[in-house]
Amino acid sequence: MRPDPEAPFREPWEAQAFALAVELSDKGVFEWREFSLALGGEIKAAEAQGRDEPYYALWLAALERLLAGKGVVSAVVVDAREASMKVLAARAHGR
């Protein structure tokens, strides 16, 4: 799902994830093209799996995977966050 161009951020964390990606790219942690490719991969994977995830959830997942791949954050931390998000989503849907 793409954000409404009139209101690109629905939640504060979305704006924070956006700003973090821009800042890290500006500081040379990664090239913006790398992030664009990572985001495209996340979007394609979600579509292929039939997952309807908010755009900025995919944005954050792409950022986390890119940073984990560069050793900036641990893959364990990324996996733990993903697991906790799945639990929260399941609870929100009464599972």
pLDDT single digits (tens) 62-94: 998 899 899 887 766 766 667 666 666 666 667
pTM > 0.75: yes or no: no
CB 24 within 8 A of CB 30: yes
Domain extents in the chain: 12-92
- What is the pLDDT, as a whole number, of residue 48? 95
Model confidence pLDDT, tens digit, residues 12-43 = 888 998 999 999 999 999 999 999 999 999 99
